[in-house]
Structure 1
Amino acid sequence: MIDGSQLKRRDLYLDKIIAFRDTEPVKVVTGIRRCGKSSLLKLMVAHLRETGVTAPQIVEMNFESHAFQKLTADTFYDYVKQRVLQGQRMYFFFDEVQRIAGWEETVNSFRVDFDCDIYITGSNAWLLSSEYATYLAGRCVEIKMLPLSFGEFLYFHDFEVREGKSALGGMRKQVFDKNGERYEPREVFEAYMRFGGMPGIADVGLNQERALTLLDGIYSTVVIRDILEREKRRGQKQITDPALLRKIILFLADNIGSSISVSSIGRTLANEGLLEDGRRKGAPSAHTVQAYVDALLESYFFYEIKRFDIKGREYLRTLGKFYIVDIGLRSYLLGFRNRDSGHALENVVYFELLRRGYDVAIGKVDNAEVDFIATKADDKLYVQVTESMASETVRNRELAPLQKIPDNYEKIVLSLDSGLDASYEGIKSIGLIDWLLAGG
């Protein structure tokens, strides 16, 4: 078993979970499978041991393990109760706890019956559904985990960014691997865009064949365990067609960043002949497609982003957009080739904004669109994403929506080629890679 001392740290999340140590709320770590939730729990266990908590005070259970697969809610309670030390603070770590039917009542009983601090993980948003809230309403805090950021990708793959003087007298960044080989940041960023941020890629290396095998395993596990098996546990029969599910996944992956209505997905698949399997005739109903899309959102495979009318200050019910949680999974699904790179860059920026704690929406201002409005507390940021700002035509297109916004919050354009000017009438032009690195 790997302990926390052997793992790469994810300080963004570890700091959050440490901040809630020994507080009443149950700490719930959510996110797509294999994004690092189990490792985060091990890092927290290592932190506890470093601060004086003894091994017998810690109970760890991974419900993916065969050892725990036959537990019921009652035997789960008994297993933990037998390990509780009288008069001592206990720390409970339950990984993928949703695999136990009735786990909600059991976890709540621990909270009531014992002097304990509880940490759980789950790979499906159903974990925090209304059923769960019935037992722990107001008594849980969610830590949302994502695959590796670009900065974390560099760290996990043993790259180091160094800054030195350029030939023009300014400063430039270069990237070095553990053998001292030197790369331009753009090269390494292209590797990130190709392979994505699943932590397991660092174990197999930046090798396309091995990466595909790992990503295929993640995909299969999400589809089978977190979507198809979830339906069985809930006693529902809405998600019954694995072939249709895959078609919808491929459609959404191919159309990240595009305006999509759920009702149009089925029609498009039928019109393009993508449902011809000898059995299906016509398009699936909008209700059916919505159920499949909801399952993908609940499993954290895709995220949906809504539109916000900047001048009217209200969310709109018109078409939203979808982004895939890991750009490497998109490469696995659609092939390792450069396709729709503009929307792929948007995808990376969207999740980076989420990591930085922003709530994110698409901005509508008159008939123009701003890629992202990012808000938190009293801060707001307007973001446009494009491949290059070198062309005057592109500059005008990207700047025009931002210039229409009447407030004075920060407005930026992120691009791989930020052009010669650092700003245009107060709108900053920033290199995307530099922006990503600034986030750590």
Structure 2
Amino acid sequence: MDHKRKLKSRDLYLAKLKGFQDTEPVKVVTGIRRCGKSSLLKLMVQHLKDSGIKDDQIIEMNFESFDFHNMDAAGFYNYVKARSIPNKRMYLFFDEVQHVTRWEDVVNAFRVDLDCDIYVTGSNAYMLSSEYSTYLSGRCVEIKMLPLSFREFIDFYGFHLRESTGAFGEKRKLVSDQDGNPYEIRELFNIYLRYGGMPGLAETGLNQERAMILLDGIYSTVVVRDILERETLKNQTRVTDPALLRKIILFLADNLGSRISLSSIGNTLADEGLVEKKGKRSKPSVITVQNYVNALIEAYFFYEIKRFDIRGKEYLRTLGKYYIVDPGLRNYLLGFRDRDRGHILENIVYFELLRRGYDVSVGKIGTAEVDFVAVKADEKIYFQVTESMLDEKVREREIAALQKIKDNYPKVILSLEPGFDDSYEGISSVHVLDWMLEPYH
């Protein structure tokens, strides 16, 4: 079968690439390994060909391929220059370009020396935060890619989503497979909660053993290539202990959505005997923990969310939260635990807000906390997330924090079991699956 036919579209990200086509900035697609960056470049190449760009105007290089193994900066430059056609616009696609030392010099040279439109991917944020920005500050646009949303998950696995109108005019969403057989949306969501949204899982047929092998491969590659080897390339020794790195990963994965201080990580690891005692030092220093956590964030494995004082209108420096990029990776690390469904649901909502372009923080108001404050341009929405609102005490707790906020921005409670109809004192109660399946604007 033609490989191109098997590519599933990622419309959210492809639309962004198309929007920047033939503009000066270098298009930089970032995200954790295997989230679909390479396929996105292939989709963009196909779009160019469909719009009349000739094959010889397109140069594709995947630096994970042995074809370009150990290629240095000069070899990189000469390879592209030799294949560029004078007086024609070239379209350059460089996948995992961070493997080439001084790649940023080369890409900058292409901008100066060639008539070209450049697209690159990378699996480590360090390439943008330090190296790249030095050379191309203001001349690149970052497109942040994530694993599949629930809506994309449904599409990737060959299901069809449609909306139906009930007997009393109510709207409801229905899902069926390619043969028209109906499925419960909740059933598919339970699979999404379990296996996550890594695109490669669609090829495993959601077989648990094969899924775990694939997730193990992703985990190992991120840890070894994007953290441990990357640190060596930078000639730094911030992250040197693979065992400690794994323990910190497990700690963060086990404490999704909890307020965490860096010192508490070290204390917990020491108290539980997870780190060896060395003389008087019984725990890793805060600086060491910070370095390891930063490396995980740079590899897009975990995302940090800051706390925001709603009344004081300022960000707080202490007790942030961490979310894992994909629930399947968490289940691979810790096993499948039903008691954690609420935390995983919160985790999923956080990344859905990022996909929709919101800046997200945790809201603090007095002693109460709002799960997410989502801001985009002039828009602001407050969100609480809970698995069920059927219990009266849970309802009171979730509503109470939102009631303390006195502005007029929307306030929404997302749950799998809404506890009241539509709204209460201006607070909307929304089924989280309906919300997640809304089309993006």
Whether the TM-score (by the shorter chain) exceeds 0.5 is yes
Check the 8 A contact 1:35/1:198 in 2, yes or no: yes
Distance 1:15 1:164 in 2: 28
Check the 8 A contact 2:162/2:173 in 1, yes or no: yes
Partner of residue 148, structure 1: 148
**SS at the partner of 1:82?**
helix
Distance 1:10 1:339 in 2: 32
TM-score w.r.t. length of structure 2:
0.97
CA shift digits 1:148-182 (9 cap, x unpaired):
00000000011122444558774433322234332
- Quote how far apart the aligned CAs of 1:184 are: 1.3
Q: Which moved more, 1:115-124 or 1:338-347?
A: 338-347
The correspondence of residues 371-390 of structure 1 with structure 2, limited to 5 A, is: 371-390=371-390
**What amino acid is the match of 1:42?**
K
Distance 1:162 1:28 in 2: 34
Distance 2:439 2:261 in 1: 33
The correspondence of residues 385-404 of structure 1 with structure 2, limited to 5 A, is: 385-404=385-404
Partner of residue 89, structure 1: 89
- Quote how far apart the aligned CAs of 1:97 are: 0.3
**1:159 matches 2:159:** yes
**What amino acid is the match of 1:49?**
K
CA shift digits 1:1-26 (9 cap, x unpaired):
96544310001000001100000000
Partner of residue 60, structure 1: 60
Distance 2:420 2:146 in 1: 34
**SS at the partner of 2:339?**
coil
- Quote how far apart the aligned CAs of 1:367 are: 1.1
**SS at the partner of 1:339?**
helix
Partner of residue 104, structure 2: 104
Check the 8 A contact 2:63/2:96 in 1, yes or no: yes
Check the 8 A contact 1:421/1:429 in 2, yes or no: yes
**1:75 matches 2:75:** yes
The correspondence of residues 205-244 of structure 1 with structure 2, limited to 5 A, is: 205-244=205-244
Check the 8 A contact 2:160/2:176 in 1, yes or no: yes
**1:361 matches 2:344:** no
Check the 8 A contact 1:4/1:39 in 2, yes or no: no
Distance 2:322 2:19 in 1: 32
Check the 8 A contact 1:5/1:46 in 2, yes or no: no
Check the 8 A contact 1:31/1:37 in 2, yes or no: yes
The correspondence of residues 297-336 of structure 1 with structure 2, limited to 5 A, is: 297-336=297-336
**Cα distance change of structure 1 residues 278 and 183 upon mapping to structure 2, 3 Å threshold:** farther
**Cα distance change of structure 1 residues 159 and 315 upon mapping to structure 2, 3 Å threshold:** same
**What amino acid is the match of 1:292?**
Y
Check the 8 A contact 1:159/1:176 in 2, yes or no: yes
Identical aligned pairs, as a percentage?
66
Partner of residue 137, structure 2: 137
Check the 8 A contact 1:4/1:44 in 2, yes or no: no
Distance 1:392 1:261 in 2: 32
**SS at the partner of 1:320?**
strand
**Cα distance change of structure 1 residues 146 and 188 upon mapping to structure 2, 3 Å threshold:** same
Distance 2:164 2:66 in 1: 52
- Quote how far apart the aligned CAs of 1:143 are: 0.3
The correspondence of residues 391-430 of structure 1 with structure 2, limited to 5 A, is: 391-430=391-430
Q: Which moved more, 1:168-177 or 1:382-391?
A: 168-177
**SS at the partner of 1:200?**
helix
Partner of residue 12, structure 1: 12
Check the 8 A contact 2:420/2:429 in 1, yes or no: no
Distance 1:216 1:270 in 2: 27
**SS at the partner of 2:229?**
helix
CA shift digits 1:33-65 (9 cap, x unpaired):
000000000000000001110000000000000
Distance 2:327 2:384 in 1: 19
**Cα distance change of structure 1 residues 254 and 439 upon mapping to structure 2, 3 Å threshold:** farther
**What amino acid is the match of 1:219?**
Y
Q: Which moved more, 1:160-169 or 1:351-360?
A: 160-169
**Cα distance change of structure 1 residues 23 and 168 upon mapping to structure 2, 3 Å threshold:** closer
**What amino acid is the match of 2:190?**
E
- Quote how far apart the aligned CAs of 1:130 are: 2.5
**What amino acid is the match of 1:107?**
V
| Structure 1 vs Structure 2 CA RMSD | 1.8
**Cα distance change of structure 1 residues 387 and 242 upon mapping to structure 2, 3 Å threshold:** same
Distance 2:162 2:281 in 1: 58
TM-score w.r.t. length of structure 1:
0.97
Check the 8 A contact 1:5/1:43 in 2, yes or no: no
Partner of residue 370, structure 1: 370
- Quote how far apart the aligned CAs of 1:342 are: 1.4
- Quote how far apart the aligned CAs of 1:429 are: 0.1
Q: Which moved more, 1:276-285 or 1:43-52?
A: 276-285
Distance 1:251 1:179 in 2: 43
Distance 1:2 1:349 in 2: 36
The correspondence of residues 270-281 of structure 1 with structure 2, limited to 5 A, is: 270-276=270-276
- Quote how far apart the aligned CAs of 1:343 are: 1.3
**1:182 matches 2:182:** yes
